[in-house]
Structure 1
Amino acid sequence: MESLTKNQTVLVTGGTGFVGIYCILQLLQQGYTVKTTVRSLNRKQEVISLLQSAGMTSLEQLSFVEADLGADDHWNDAVEGCMYVLHVASPFPAGEPEDADELIIPARDGALRVLKAARNAGVKRVVLTSSFAAIGYSKDTKDHVFTELDWTDPEIASGAYIKSKTIAEMAAWDYMKNEGGDMELTVINPVAIFGPVMGQDHSTSVGFIKSLLEGHIKQTPGFTFGVVDVRDVAAIHLLAMTHPEAAGERFLATASDVVSIYDIAQFIKKERPAAALNIAELEPLDPSAYTAMSNEKAKRILGWKPRSKEAAILASVDSLVI
């Protein structure tokens, strides 16, 4: 396997991010040569240390390029010689910005910047990390099972992040249709990403777990969400990168079933009582608020086998309380 992959170079954008670092790790484990972008080379050692802590002893096949999604500089260098690009980097704020364009413009223009550079460099396929945000926020959820056929309408969706992910993904598909040439695009739409935390940069979803454990969440938010383990998100990116049938497709990345914050709180109390001492007493969510979504396409086409939502949640808890 490694002899086949060693001569194939993959660019991972956003190497310090929660998903990005796991993509790099799995690519190196499979023998690929990897380039990654960081906004500042000052963070290069941080990435190296995280990979070493995860068991990577040889990092000869990893190199770094300083590039920012908000500027054209160095993107041509980043994609040069790459067969594949995993465009994982995207802004995800802890809070809502005053102006939605603060998120929308960098997400959209960053994706187009990467696609254009990749096309010009002769990249075979780009795998773009989108979000369930681009799927599930415009339709009446009652009795509906969300799949890759669903799209959020950015005109009626609320929230800058939801709009930014939807507009960025739509812009990417439009670019491919009009200017993509022979290059292929596959899109991954993950739900809330949990799993073991490696460094300072973890997902906003893991931040929910942290807030829950610290007792900061006092009420059950009025929504449910899908859960997926970060290791499975990286794995589906790698499967989508090379699978012949993945070109031109989007894949909803979720474990089975959805949860509420109340469900997670009760589960942690049961499975990790020592970690749950500060969790506030929460009210259960009305059953009518529960949504439904399907991961059937990713399992059928890619052979993807995600961990359970319970395993992903516990992995987050265990890595936060160590």
Structure 2
Amino acid sequence: MTVLITGANGFIAEHVVDLLLKKNYEIIGVVRSLEKAEKVHQQFGNSSKLSFEIVPELSAPNAFDPVFRKRGKEISSVIHMASPFISGATDFENQLLIPARNETVSILNSIKQYGNDTVTRVVLTSSLLAVTDLNKMGDETITFTEKDWNPDTWASCQTNPLRAYAGSKKFAEEAAWNFMREHKRNINFDLTVVVPAMALGPHKFAEDVKDELNVSNKVIDGLLCSSPRRKLDHYMNAPFIDVRDVAKAHLIALEKANARGQRLCVFERGIGSQDILDIMNQKFPSLRGQISQGPWPGRGDQNTKCSYNTSLSNKILGFEFLSLDQSVEDTVTQILCVRDQVM
């Protein structure tokens, strides 16, 4: 079986590629440049089961048509993970909202036109931000489930960077479900959506830490760089999941029959910066006195937060998630090891 993965050089995607290779899948990775393709191929030992196609602009009209015209007969499944994330974006509509929606619709159209005889399942990577109401994440009376949707509108998603990114995930996912409903009589593939929270955990390859940590792990790195005298000006509060569990969820979304047509939420509870600092100070004695202890040392996050009921997803996924302790410990160990090598 051959799986096409868009954004194959991404933080989560490289863990997905690793799992698929271990299960003997053939993989076609889609990346934006030859340089990125060569780097990832080398990292995976130049595996003969991993090949690449270059699509420089994923949101361009018919961007994926050349790939599917060329290799559509090989592809049995598609995992669409690529999504625009532009640090410092100011034109939210044209830099985030429209490209994310267009990329999703574009690849589904290409599958319908050139891969409808061979592709049986499409897996889309969405986000918790497509589920939750950003205004209610601190409301302990609220419980979100797989059926909930971010209520922001196209207009309200253009008010700040966080809402814009959330909107890009929401409208891309909505476009995918709408496509499936509109074309259900003319397509032979089904859709499963994986909805992860903030993904922490080590990069698949430590060398990537030297270049740039992924957005979620920058939270951990920021706390590693905190002053012992600071109580933390900016306080993170969000549900978490380990990146390795997100990768497992993608494999289950790809393989399990009962995942068909489902929205798999991969997270359970909210955590805060205090939780991460407590783990750092406990697990790494050398950091004590070098980093912040936070506002509530040793007591965990004391902020109020909403709840999540993802029992349907958990039943389909069928595995226990890695703990925050394990995720933070593995991430910090990797970052510190890389820093020691650099120094």
Query: Aligned AA for 1:258?
Result: G
- Range with bigger deviation, 75-84 or 260-269: 75-84
Q: Is the 8 A contact 2:41 2:51 kept in 1?
A: no
1:163 corresponding residue in structure 2: 167
Q: Is the 8 A contact 2:235 2:273 kept in 1?
A: no
1:15 corresponding residue in structure 2: 8
Give per-residue Cα distances to partners, 1:179-215, cap 9 Å, x unaligned: 2523211101100101112224543111111111112
Q: Is the 8 A contact 1:9 1:34 kept in 2?
A: yes
**From 276, 285, 291, the counterpart of 1:279:** 291
> How does 1:93-132 map onto structure 2 within 5 Å?
93-95=86-88, 97-101=89-93, 102-120=95-113, 121-122=115-116, 123-132=119-128
1:77 corresponding residue in structure 2: 67
Give the TM-score normalised by the residue count of structure 1: 0.88
- Range with bigger deviation, 63-72 or 27-36: 63-72
**From 260, 274, 298, the counterpart of 1:262:** 274
Percent identical across equivalent pairs?
30
Separation in 1, partners of 2:289, 2:106: 47
Identify unmatched segments of 5+ residues in structure 1: 1-7, 53-57
Identify unmatched segments of 5+ residues in structure 2: 338-343
Q: Is the 8 A contact 1:229 1:307 kept in 2?
A: yes
1:37 matches 2:30 = yes
Query: Aligned AA for 2:91?
Result: D
Separation in 1, partners of 2:335, 2:134: 34
**How many angstroms does 1:220 deviate by?**
5.2
The structure number with the bigger radius of gyration is 2
1:289 corresponding residue in structure 2: 304
Give per-residue Cα distances to partners, 1:69-110, cap 9 Å, x unaligned: 122345442561211101111123444x21211111111111
1:172 corresponding residue in structure 2: 176
1:143 corresponding residue in structure 2: 141
Q: Secondary structure at the match of 1:251?
A: strand
- What is the alpha-carbon root mean square deviation over aligned residues? 2.3
**How many angstroms does 1:175 deviate by?**
1.0
> How does 1:227-238 map onto structure 2 within 5 Å?
227-238=240-251
1:61 matches 2:61 = no
Separation in 1, partners of 2:77, 2:288: 42
Query: Aligned AA for 2:239?
Result: G
**Residues 294, 203 of structure 1: CA spacing in aligned structure 2 closer, same or farther, 3 A cutoff?**
farther
**How many angstroms does 1:222 deviate by?**
5.0
Separation in 2, partners of 1:89, 1:218: 36
Query: Aligned AA for 2:125?
Result: T
- Range with bigger deviation, 110-119 or 214-223: 214-223
Separation in 2, partners of 1:11, 1:267: 38
**How many angstroms does 1:296 deviate by?**
2.2
Q: Is the 8 A contact 1:108 1:168 kept in 2?
A: yes
Give the TM-score normalised by the residue count of structure 2: 0.83
Query: Aligned AA for 1:77?
Result: V
**From 263, 284, 288, the counterpart of 1:250:** 263
Count of residue pairs brought into register by the alignment: 308
**Residues 223, 144 of structure 1: CA spacing in aligned structure 2 closer, same or farther, 3 A cutoff?**
farther
2:341 corresponding residue in structure 1: none
Query: Aligned AA for 1:309?
Result: L
Q: Is the 8 A contact 2:123 2:254 kept in 1?
A: yes
Separation in 2, partners of 1:218, 1:43: 40
**Residues 305, 50 of structure 1: CA spacing in aligned structure 2 closer, same or farther, 3 A cutoff?**
farther
Q: Is the 8 A contact 2:143 2:309 kept in 1?
A: yes
Separation in 2, partners of 1:317, 1:134: 29
**Residues 277, 286 of structure 1: CA spacing in aligned structure 2 closer, same or farther, 3 A cutoff?**
closer
**How many angstroms does 1:247 deviate by?**
1.3
**Residues 12, 278 of structure 1: CA spacing in aligned structure 2 closer, same or farther, 3 A cutoff?**
farther
1:212 matches 2:218 = no
Give per-residue Cα distances to partners, 1:15-64, cap 9 Å, x unaligned: 11101111111101000000000100111221023324xxxxx7111110
> How does 1:279-318 map onto structure 2 within 5 Å?
279-284=291-296, 287=302, 289-318=304-333
- Range with bigger deviation, 310-319 or 31-40: 310-319
Query: Aligned AA for 1:151?
Result: W
2:340 corresponding residue in structure 1: none
1:3 corresponding residue in structure 2: none
Query: Aligned AA for 1:69?
Result: L
